[in-house]
Each structure stands twice: as structure tokens, then as C-alpha cells.
Chain A
Amino acid sequence: MKNRGGQPVVVPAGSPGPTGSGQPAAATKKSLSASIAKFRELGLLAFIVILAVGVQFRNTSFLTWENLNDIATNTAILSILAVGMMLVIITRGIDLSIGATLALSGMIAALTVKEYPGLNPYVAVLLGVGIGIACGAVLGFLVSKINILPIIATLGMMNVFRGLTYEASGGKWVSAHQMPESFKAIATGKVLGINNLIFIAILIYIVAYYFVNHTRTGRQIYAVGSNPESAEVSGIKSGRILWLVYTIMGGLSGLAGVLWVAKFASAQGDTASGYELSVIAACVLGGVSIAGGSGKISGIILGSVLLGILNNALPMIDVSPFWQNWIQGMIILVAVLINAMVKRGIDRNNLMRRRI
């Protein structure tokens, strides 16, 4: 719910966030920082609209129902992963292994359905999630119990998971014709007229919103990231929170792996290689502070959607796909630099208030 630097943010009643309904004196005093915080979400939204309109001018097939649906299904997996990554980043960590976890669980699910075509697709989903949870739990153990820096632990395990993916498949692909229709239907089927992927993503967002805002454990994740020392004093078991966060990330990666394989109807050794970077970009873009302690669900939705639109729109306006890497990197860099500058501005503003 929070942005670092402490700007009051308007959120609906009944949620833990601050509202703008504070006293006038307080409101005017903090108007600058408040507007900056609002600016991020509104700015993102405005940017998305402008981008959409701009692309529409260049290519009229952009704002069609079909294409929008396409964007939404493509964004679904990214946004599912962004939820987990947000939690990890809030605790001041980072997870570079999710692409590999995704590939491993996707591959094993695909191999299983290839072997047992009659298998209920739900079992395949559960299998993928289970493998993801196992991968995440290992990472969480390394980070919380052995105190390995998240960057090192996830970098190392990324290779292990990726290697295991190749080992499992013997370097071969599982391609569309080897997968039963029931499995591929996971990605094409519909619930209440909504594509399964979108439905699952929405479901996860609702659960995650409830979890981070309305449960004690969810709030403790923020507390651990906001001030680890105080968290210990308040009796929060930081180690357990860290472990939990990486395990959730793993579970979501596992789920995303099955969805990915079903959607693209192929499982490869290098599935989703480098995808972790898109996920991190979505989070940073959505205002998740890399210094920990702050990040909101609404922010990462917008971040994921913006990235999803960019990925869809760039080819439509004849931007070479080879620019995508660069654009993504610049997005991350510029977003973190702007976050840092905004924070500095707020600090300077606070100093001015001391009137010395």
C-alpha cells in the first residue's frame, strides 16, 4: 500500500492505507509529496491511455476486442509472477530464478501429461505448483536460514533449476501434438465467459489483495521490509516471513509454468529464459520500491499491463522486436532513478520544513 518516503495515498475505506480525508492542516502540509505519490499511478494510467491511442493511430487493429483479449491473456502470466516478485522485493530481496522455476515446473507438467494423456489437467496444475513451491522453499531456506544474499542464492539456483529442466527433458521439446487437448484447454478454456488465464490472474489478485492488506502475516511482510530491526523487536519472525515469501514466489512460478506451457503448447529447456527481468520491470514500474517496504497490488497491475501493451504494440507499429530488450532495461533504470529522485525531493522538502 505504500510508497517509500511516506506519502499519504488515497485508498478505499476499510483498507489499511491512508485516506485523503485527513484534517486540512495535515493535508496541505503534505500536498506535494501526496501529489507525487498519486502522480505515479495516475501517470502510469495516463501513459497507458496515451500509448494505446497513439498506437491506435498507427495501426487501427490495435484497439480491437480480439487484440485486447490477446494482450490480456499475454499479460496474465506476467502479472501473476509480478505478485510474487512484489512480495520478494518488499522484503528487500530479489528473485532471478523464477524463469528457471517456471521452465522446470512447466516441463515436468508437460512430460507428465505426455506420458499420461488421460490425466486430469487440474492434477497437472497442482503438480506444477507443487514443484514451484519446492523450488521456492529451497530458495527461502538458503536466504532465511543460511543468510545467503538473495541475488547470489537465486543466481545459483537459477542455473540448477534450468539445468534440471534440460535433464528432465533430455534436451528435447515437448511439442503441441504430444500434449492432450485437455491440457491445452487450460489456457484456452473459459470460466464465466472469461479466458482461464485472465480468470486465474484476477483470482490471484483478489487473494493477494486480501492477503497483503487484511491478514497479519501479509502486513508483517511489509514490516520486515520497512524496518527489519524493529520487526525483530515487535516479535515478528523475519526468517519465517522470508521463507514464506520465496515459497509463494515459487508456487506462483510453478503455476505460471503450467499456464505458459499450455498456452504456447510447447515446453522447452529455455522456456521463459530471462523472463524474470520483465517481471522485475513490471514491479519497479508499478512503484514497488527496490529498497523494500513498499509496493501495492494496484501498482503492479498497471505495471504489468503497461509492459503487456508495450510488448503487443511495438511489433504493431513496426518497432523491431530486437529493441524490446533495450526498452525493458531502460524502463527499469529510468523507473528506479525517478523513484530515487522523488524520494530525494521529499527528503529535501522535509528539511525545508525544519526552517533552520
Chain B
Amino acid sequence: MSEFILELKGITKTFPGVKALDDVYFKLKPGEIHALMGENGAGKSTFIKVITGVHAPDEGGEMYLDGQPVNFRNPKDAQKAGIAAIYQHVTCYPDLTVTENIFMGHEKIAKGTKRLLWREMHEEAGNLLKELGASFSPKTLMGALSVAEQQIVEIAKALSVNARIIIMDEPTAALTNNESEELYRIAEKLRDQGTSIIFISHRFEDMYRLASKVTVFRDSKYIGTWGVNEISNADLIVAMVGREITQLFPKKEAEIGEELLRVEGLGKTGYFADVSFTLRKGEILGLTGLVGAGRTEVCQAIFGAERADKGKIFYKGQELAVRNPLHAMKQGIGYLPEDRQKQGLVLSWEIGRNITLSSLEKMSKKGHINTRKEWDLAKRLAEKVSVKAKSVFDLASSLSGGNQQKVVFAKLLTADLDILILDEPTKGVDVGAKSAIYEIISDLACSGYGIILVSSEMPEIIGMCDRVAVMREGRITAFMDREGISQEAILRASMADADPQQDQQRWA
């Protein structure tokens, strides 16, 4: 019997063009809560998918369960081996009861008649839930539960298959503090019963509160494993970020001009509230915070894709009620969406047609498209942002992530805009393309655009922005200007438990 219940040695996972995991090590003891930390894109998610059998690792790495080498071919294998994962976005059947969600795929069936044993299942589900301290009935519909309650159901599901290793992927991101506390309690209880937990979180408090060990990944690589008490907060941040931040970023000093945008008290029930800030010409304003803090929703409200129900937006001093994205773009506000494949591009189309999609009116006369003009413009803009492709007729789906993002940039440049809202512009883009995108952003700021840069990547925020607004649970909790920006301050503001109203420094 090995000391470790799970051990990974030298695991590498390559996707076409990207190394998502590079020679990674991990050791998990029975009855241990092990925190896994790292920035977005550090490789944590891929790591989980390897453990749970969703992805097969490249040749060369080794994985041991109880000291025995294992090789999961599919998620079912991992499940049978006692590994269960609980994701931040719960995947469930909203129309079915809690009991059914727990037992889906391994229902209790009467021998012979094949009748479902509801009474037994309800009872066992009820016991599991009681064990986890949940107060809802197992006969409740899944869709009627809050996210926190749904997560408890997922944990119950893991317990119902006798999982020995439970992976929790940012379970607290969407939870309130009380709900997080509940989750901590459950995790501790499971640990005391001998279950091992891999806990992935952005929140330091999660780690200090729960874990005994912490492993850090950075840029798909294994950085190290420490006892939680052995490593200071500052050292941990260095381990996570690890590079001299300012060098990577070709931030040029842009001339900061007059005010372009002023948002006052913007709110949308259930998503964000009291959001106020200004944006000036040539300025890059960072908008950061944890995933789910309401950043995207704020941006989409300004762009008119969603409707805010409170507050005012002033554009160049004039109050502006944005009706829809077209209206916003006509005024001069552009938006680069978070998910370029689903929201930014028509993947089955050529690069050229993608670029011109948002400015068809410009190259047409009375609705008739002038294709000559269209391809010329597409070529010019694609070259301006240096898209790597053979011709403007190459399909968008054939490009790498970075090049796809450049195409979306080119699309924004076709319109006459003053304000660019960039929502996670470097998400899922490899390092080389990243710096190219930073250069584009910097150049745009220099040429007079006002830019709102939404990002979860702290180096990016610190390296690129003139000012930063940090959001937490739908509210802006802090503003910092270039001198005052630091990782610690941002982290504190995005996770702080103090009343948001108190530490909110209004810009005015």
C-alpha cells in the first residue's frame, strides 16, 4: 500500500498547437485536502480532466492509484476507481428530483422486476443530504435549488458512488460567505472520514481555511508543493505569477485626453449594482475580479446587449440610453466578447466575411454589397492586426486561438469607434500571440481609443492598465491608479469580506 492514494509523475498533455500541461507532478494522501492554485490558464482544468479520464495524457507520464499504475480511457473508468469531480458550473437535470440527480447512472433497481426502488433511493439520498447538513428534501426538483444547494447535491452524488477522491473546481466562486462556510464544514467532515479532496480555488481564504498542502501550477508547468503553513502569502503569489510583470507588456504611454464615458450607479437586478466609473481618451481602464463577479454583465449592459435597469450612461458628456448593440456601435462603443468562438466569430465563414460583418453598411450602396471593396478592406485590416493566414478566404475555424482573436479585433476596427470594451481578450491564447494582442491594445490606446480591459489575469491588468476597478459580487469594491496597483490590493478587493460599501473608493 502506497503512502499516497493518488500520484502523478511527469504528466504532459498537448493539444494541437498548445501544451496544456507540461511535465506535472502531484501527490495526494488519503484524508488530505490539497489545494491546487494557479492563474487562469495555468493548466488546472486540464489537470482535472486528466485525472477524471476526460482527456488522455500524452505518452511518458505515469499515474498511480494506491500505488498501482492506472490508465483511464474514459470518465467511467475514473468513476469506478472512486474519483469524482464537482464543477463550478453544475451539470445536472433541472427537471428531475435531487434523488434522481444523485442516482442517475447507478439507480437502485429491484431484482427481477427492474422496478426503481424509490423509497430506498429517497431514503439514502435523504441520509446523504442530512450527513452533509442540507435542509432540503431529496424530492425537491434540482432546478429549484440555489447553486450552493446544487453543489451539495453534486457532493452527495460523489458520496453515493463511494468516491475516495473528490475534486472541487472553484466550488466557492458563486457562493456567498455563509454558503462557503457550509461547504468548508462539509469538506472537513469528508476529510475526517478519510476522503481525499483536491480543492481548486482562487480564494486564499479557502486554502488557508481548509488545505494542508498546496500545489501551484503556472503556465502549464508544475511549480511546487508546500505545506500551507510553510509558505507565506507573498511567496505564494510570486509562485503563481512568477514573472517580472511589466516587461511582458509593451505598454506605451498614451496621451490621456477628455472624458469619453461616464457610468453612474448602473445596476441590473441579480447581476450587478451601483457600478460607477469614467473612461478617458487614450486610457486603459482595467475591470477585474473573480469570474462571476458581474464584469461581463456590466460590459454587455454598456454595449446594449443586455439591459440595465438602474443608473445612467454618459457618452462624451451626453446621457445615452443604449438600445441595442447596433446603437452602441453607431455611437462609437465596441465590444469584444468573452467567448470568441460562440460570440465573436462565425466559425464556418471566411476571415474576410467575418471582418466585415459588423460594418456591412460601409461597403454597400443601398444595401448592395460591393465585394471588391469588401475584400480590400478585409485584407487591409487583417494585415493591420497581422493575422497569420494565406488569404482572406481561409475559414475562421482553421485559425489558432490567437489569430481568431485578431480577426475579432480587425472586425472592431472596421467601425468608427471611440470606446473598445475588451472582455478577456487573451483568454485561451498562447503566449506569443498574447504579446501581439497586448501590442495591438497598446497601439489602439495611443491612437486615442478609450479602452476597458476586462481580465482575470492579474499580470495583464497590472501591466496594461492606467487604472483598475475591482469587482466583487456585482459591485465595484476598489479603484486603483497605476502607482497603487498591486497584486495584493487586487486580490484583497476581489475577495474581501468587509462590507462592499465601506471600502469602495468612489472615483469622484
A binds B: yes
With A26-B140, A356-B270: A227-B93 Cβ-Cβ less than 8 Å: yes
Instruction: Determine the residue in chain B with the shortest Cβ distance to A18.
Output: B139
In-complex Cβ contact of B139 among A19, A227, A233, A348 (8 A): A19
Judge whether B95 and A233 touch: CB under 8 Å: no
Judge whether A6 and B144 touch: CB under 8 Å: yes
**Surface stretch bound by B, among A64-72, A215-223, A300-308, A327-335:** A215-223
Judge whether B109 and A223 touch: CB under 8 Å: no
A4: B residues at CB distance < 8 A: 94-95, 143
Instruction: Determine the residue in chain A with the shortest Cβ distance to B474.
Output: A356
The answer to whether the Cβ of B8 comes within 8 Å of any Cβ in the partner chain is no
Instruction: Determine the residue in chain B with the shortest Cβ distance to A295.
Output: B95
Q: Distance (Å) between the CB of A338 and the closest chain B CB?
A: 18
Q: Distance (Å) between the CB of B172 and the closest chain A CB?
A: 16
Q: Distance (Å) between the CB of B119 and the closest chain A CB?
A: 6
The answer to whether the Cβ of A54 comes within 8 Å of any Cβ in the partner chain is no
Judge whether A214 and B115 touch: CB under 8 Å: yes
Judge whether B141 and A7 touch: CB under 8 Å: yes
Judge whether B139 and A216 touch: CB under 8 Å: no
Q: How far is the CA of A233 from the CA of B84 in the complex (A)?
A: 13
Contact mask B459-503 → A, CB, 8 Å, 1/0? 000000000000001110000000000000000000000000000
In-complex Cβ contact of A235 among B105, B273, B474 (8 A): B105
The answer to whether the Cβ of A33 comes within 8 Å of any Cβ in the partner chain is yes
Q: Distance (Å) between the CB of A62 and the closest chain B CB?
A: 38
The answer to whether the Cβ of A30 comes within 8 Å of any Cβ in the partner chain is yes
Instruction: Determine the residue in chain B with the shortest Cβ distance to A354.
Output: B270
The answer to whether the Cβ of B318 comes within 8 Å of any Cβ in the partner chain is no
Q: Distance (Å) between the CB of A123 and the closest chain B CB?
A: 30
Judge whether A6 and B143 touch: CB under 8 Å: yes
The answer to whether the Cβ of B99 comes within 8 Å of any Cβ in the partner chain is yes
B114: A residues at CB distance < 8 A: 215-216
Q: How far is the CA of A87 from the CA of B149 in the complex (A)?
A: 29
Judge whether B76 and A6 touch: CB under 8 Å: no
Q: Is the interface of A mostly helix, strand, loop or mixed?
A: loop
Judge whether B135 and A26 touch: CB under 8 Å: yes
The answer to whether the Cβ of A84 comes within 8 Å of any Cβ in the partner chain is no
Contact mask A187-230 → B, CB, 8 Å, 1/0? 00000000000000000000000000111100100110111011
B474: A residues at CB distance < 8 A: 356
The answer to whether the Cβ of B272 comes within 8 Å of any Cβ in the partner chain is yes
Most chain A CB within a 10 A radius of its CB, from B99, B119, B144: B144
Most chain A CB within a 10 A radius of its CB, from B93, B105, B118, B473: B93
A219: B residues at CB distance < 8 A: 96, 100, 107, 116
Q: Distance (Å) between the CB of A3 and the closest chain B CB?
A: 8
Judge whether A25 and B143 touch: CB under 8 Å: no
Q: How far is the CA of A230 from the CA of B91 in the complex (A)?
A: 6
Contact mask B128-168 → A, CB, 8 Å, 1/0? 00000001110111111110000000000000000000000
Q: How far is the CA of A30 from the CA of B143 in the complex (A)?
A: 11
The answer to whether the Cβ of B369 comes within 8 Å of any Cβ in the partner chain is no
The answer to whether the Cβ of A15 comes within 8 Å of any Cβ in the partner chain is yes
| Residues 220-252 (chain B) with a chain A CB within 8 angstroms | none
With A4-B95, A6-B95, A33-B144: A26-B137 Cβ-Cβ less than 8 Å: yes
The answer to whether the Cβ of B97 comes within 8 Å of any Cβ in the partner chain is yes
Judge whether A2 and B95 touch: CB under 8 Å: yes
Interface residues of B, CB < 8 Å — how many? 40
The answer to whether the Cβ of A150 comes within 8 Å of any Cβ in the partner chain is no
In-complex Cβ contact of A214 among B75, B100, B105, B116 (8 A): B116
Q: How far is the CA of A208 from the CA of B145 in the complex (A)?
A: 29
Judge whether B143 and A16 touch: CB under 8 Å: no
A2: B residues at CB distance < 8 A: 95-96, 141
Q: How far is the CA of A215 from the CA of B94 in the complex (A)?
A: 19
Judge whether B95 and A351 touch: CB under 8 Å: no
Judge whether B118 and A15 touch: CB under 8 Å: yes
The answer to whether the Cβ of B104 comes within 8 Å of any Cβ in the partner chain is yes
The answer to whether the Cβ of B4 comes within 8 Å of any Cβ in the partner chain is no
Judge whether B137 and A18 touch: CB under 8 Å: yes
Q: How far is the CA of A22 from the CA of B138 in the complex (A)?
A: 9
Q: Distance (Å) between the CB of A213 and the closest chain B CB?
A: 8
A227: B residues at CB distance < 8 A: 91-94
Judge whether B141 and A234 touch: CB under 8 Å: no
Judge whether A6 and B137 touch: CB under 8 Å: no
Q: How far is the CA of A9 from the CA of B93 in the complex (A)?
A: 16
Q: Distance (Å) between the CB of B176 and the closest chain A CB?
A: 9
The answer to whether the Cβ of B57 comes within 8 Å of any Cβ in the partner chain is no
With A8-B144, A352-B269, A356-B294: A293-B93 Cβ-Cβ less than 8 Å: yes
| Residues 3-60 (chain A) with a chain B CB within 8 angstroms | 3-9, 13-19, 21-23, 25-26, 30, 33
B144: A residues at CB distance < 8 A: 6-8, 30, 33
In-complex Cβ contact of A16 among B92, B97, B142 (8 A): B97
Most chain A CB within a 10 A radius of its CB, from B91, B119, B137, B273: B137
Q: Distance (Å) between the CB of B233 and the closest chain A CB?
A: 29
Q: Distance (Å) between the CB of A216 and the closest chain B CB?
A: 5
| Residues 84-135 (chain A) with a chain B CB within 8 angstroms | none
A16: B residues at CB distance < 8 A: 96-97, 99-100, 116, 118, 139
The answer to whether the Cβ of A154 comes within 8 Å of any Cβ in the partner chain is no
In-complex Cβ contact of A25 among B95, B100, B135, B270 (8 A): B135
Contact mask A345-356 → B, CB, 8 Å, 1/0? 000101111101
A230: B residues at CB distance < 8 A: 91-93, 104
B119: A residues at CB distance < 8 A: 13-14
B115: A residues at CB distance < 8 A: 214-215
Q: How far is the CA of A227 from the CA of B140 in the complex (A)?
A: 17
Q: How far is the CA of A219 from the CA of B95 in the complex (A)?
A: 11
Instruction: Determine the residue in chain A with the shortest Cβ distance to B297.
Output: A356
Judge whether B140 and A293 touch: CB under 8 Å: no
The answer to whether the Cβ of B204 comes within 8 Å of any Cβ in the partner chain is no
In-complex Cβ contact of B76 among A235, A293, A356 (8 A): A235
19 contacts between A and B (CB under 8 A): A7-B144, A13-B119, A14-B118, A16-B96, A19-B137, A22-B137, A23-B136, A25-B135, A26-B137, A215-B115, A216-B116, A222-B96, A223-B96, A223-B100, A227-B94, A230-B91, A230-B92, A233-B91, A350-B270
Q: Which 6 A-B pairs have the closest CB atoms?
A: A6-B143, A351-B270, A22-B137, A18-B139, A293-B95, A356-B474
Given A5-B94, A222-B96, A356-B475: 12 more A-B contacts, CB < 8 Å: A6-B143, A8-B140, A16-B96, A16-B100, A18-B97, A22-B136, A30-B144, A223-B96, A223-B100, A229-B91, A356-B270, A356-B273
